[in-house]
Amino acid sequence: MERIPILRMGRLLLVTIQVDMHDRLAMTLQDDLTARIVKDRANGVLIDISALDIVDSFIGRMISNTAAMAKILDADTVLVGMQPAVAITLVELGLNLTGVRTALNVERGMQMLDRSHE
Amino acid sequence: MTDIMPVTVMPVKTDEDVVRLRKHVRDTMVAIGFSLIEQTKVITAASELARNTLRYGGGGEVSIHHIDEFDRKGVMLVFSDKGPGIEDIALALTDGYTSGGGLGLGLSGAKRLVDEFELDTRVGEGTSVSIAKWKRY
Amino acid sequence: MSKDYSARLADIVSDNKDQLLDVWLAGLFSKLMRRDKAGDAEVRQKAAQFLPLLADTLKKSETLNIQSPEWGDLRQLLEEISQSRVRQGFTPIETASFIFSLKEPLFDHLRKALGDDSKQLADSIAVTSTLFDDLGLFTVEVYQKAREQVILRQQQELLELSTPVVQLWDGILALPLIGTLDSARTQVVMESLLEKIVETGSEIAIIDITGVPTVDTLVAQHLLKTIAAARLMGADCIISGIRPQIAQTIVHLGVNLEDVITKSTLADAFIIAMKRTGASINTSESRQQRA
């Protein structure tokens, strides 16, 4: 069964979403991420969506929920690389992804997570 | 409006169908010459509606139309199912995201992303939602 | 009567094709302000296509209603002509004259054919006149629609050229908006700002509205949506240059700017932006000594 790979870099988990996910795959990712946060004792999660050209409400909620669960497990989440067209559409849709911090790219995202753990 | 090309009908019965639909709508809109932002809005709306058809309508189908009027061209999608129908239409169209109410069907959000939106539903018989976007110059 | 009339007119057109063409073209060319070889050749070609197509349509069609499907091919030909006229910069009258210049020559032939029967002649001329009026008006309508599209396209291009996003510093963009903002223009401008944010990897965008006389609800909404979108992408926006009148309008409209940083001048906004990106400005020693 296909899964989205999760990379570990120290206490940081990096997920790069590169495929158009169907709902089941998104839910699997959510489960995998929360399991890994516990298993690897991660304190930061970086979700890279620079390759996604569509983010609908389901995926949006998945990301919000993941960040919320991560927070409960004492890990911060940063969402990076949202494309302009996706951002405009999400705003129009009314989804504001509260509780999720954002950064332009992976590098900035990592800096953000580093700063919050100093 | 008139169809200027044969209509494509696709099933909306599995998660994979939804992914296939997104790709097909993308290809169709690129062919008509829509901008990237217009494509993104419609595909996102289609994704929302397809999910509804799948989860609440018990599965159904979608037809994709190239539409044509004298001075403009566009795309229209019609999602239909033979599910339970929607009892409270007003509630369904309430903005679920900001108010926290609504039925979580994402209909009001999808409506904002397109130029035309029509909802036809009958309790116990089924639901049909059609959306259209015109290419702006 | 309609069917006989159509058939008769079709015959007149077919039988006198060459003569009609000559007189028609002479009349057409006399009405044009300016002419060139390529334009003339095109007109000749289209006119030569028009006559047999007209005869054909008259023979086959049940009706003289030019909007009906049987008249589709003829309408298509007229559309091509009108659109070409727009591209070449002809006036609406020069375009409609394509049809109207054919009236007189056709009437001449009708007179020759029906000279003896004054009632039939009168009826035929009346019906022909109406038909040609419909066709002429159709060409003008197509012309106008085509012209509108050209104008819209030009407006779009102007829009894109006239709203440059400026890179003030590493990671800081500025978008100086000038003039009145309408909904369409604001959207285009905002989209290009978001693109530039990605292209340059800038975390801060200063939207300066010093040069904007008024802001209405729609424009305010677009501004807010752009700021929200930029945030989702990982960038922040500062609005600068808000004049007292605009501040009043914003409050009256009930627009919520709580989450947005606003500064009255671009300079102040720039200082904030520099602090945020961790940069600082140092005056050189020689300058300090001079002061």
Domain count of the fold of chain A: 1
CB atoms B112 and A88 under 8 Å: no
Three-class secondary structure of residue B64 per DSSP: strand
Q: What ipTM describes this predicted complex?
A: 0.94
Q: Which residue of C has its CA nearest to B38?
A: C191
Domain locations in chain C as residue ranges? 2-153, 166-290
Give the C-alpha separation, B126 to C122, whole Å.
Answer: 61
* β-bridge partners, C206: C174, C238
Q: Provide the residue type at C108 as one letter.
A: D
Instruction: With beta carbons under 8 A apart, name residues in chain A contacting B110.
Output: 93
Tokens describing residue A14: 């990096």
Average pLDDT value for chain A = 93
Give the C-alpha separation, B122 to B58, whole Å.
Answer: 14
Backbone angles phi and psi of B18, in degrees to 5: -65, -40
CATH value at residue A109: 3.30.750.24
Note the pTM of the prediction, 2 decimals: 0.72
pLDDT at residue B97 above 60? no
Cβ of C183 under 8 Å from any chain B Cβ?
A: no
The C-alpha of A59 sits at a distance from chain B's nearest C-alpha, in angstroms, of 11
What kind of fold does domain C2-153 have according to CATH? Globin-like (1.10.490)
DSSP letter string over C105-136?
Answer: HHHHHHHHHHTT-HHHHHHHHHHHHHHHHHHH
Cβ of B37 under 8 Å from any chain A Cβ?
A: yes
pLDDT at residue C157 above 90? no
Q: Is the dihedral of CA A19, A22, A23, A25 positive or negative?
A: negative
Q: Please report whether residue A13 resides in a domain.
A: yes
Q: Which regions of chain C does DSSP assign to beta strands (E)?
A: 166-169, 172-178, 204-211, 236-240, 261-263
Cβ atoms of C20 and C54 within 8 Å: the answer is no
Instruction: With beta carbons under 8 A apart, name residues in chain C contacting A91.
Output: 225, 228-229, 232
pLDDT at residue A36 above 90? yes
Structure confidence at residue C291 (pLDDT): 55
Give C190's pLDDT tier (boundaries 50, 70, 90): confident
Residues 6+ apart with CB under 8 A from B134: B72, B73, B74, B115
pLDDT at residue A47 above 90? yes
The C-alpha of B111 sits at a distance from chain A's nearest C-alpha, in angstroms, of 9
Q: Please report whether residue A41 resides in a domain.
A: yes
Tokens describing residue C107: 């009437």
pLDDT at residue C187 above 90? no
Instruction: Name which of C132, C133, C124 is nearest C4 in CA terms.
Output: C124
Q: In Å, how far are A67, B117, C28, C209, C215 from C251, measured between CA atoms?
A: 35, 33, 62, 16, 11
Average pLDDT value for chain C = 86
Average pLDDT in the C197-206 region? Answer: 95
Exposure string for B90-108, b = 16+ CB within 10 A, e = fewer: eebbbebbeeeebbebbbb
Q: Provide the residue type at B89 as one letter.
A: I
pLDDT at residue B103 above 60? no
Q: Please report whether residue A1 resides in a domain.
A: no
pLDDT at residue B115 above 80? yes
The CATH number of C166-290 is 3.30.750.24
Q: Which domain holds residue A69?
A: 6-116
Q: Which residue of B has its CA nearest to A19?
A: B19
Q: In Å, how far are C100, C107, C137, C233 from C28, measured between CA atoms?
A: 9, 16, 17, 60
Backbone angles phi and psi of C209, in degrees to 5: -110, 30
Residues 6+ apart with CB under 8 A from C276: C203, C204, C236
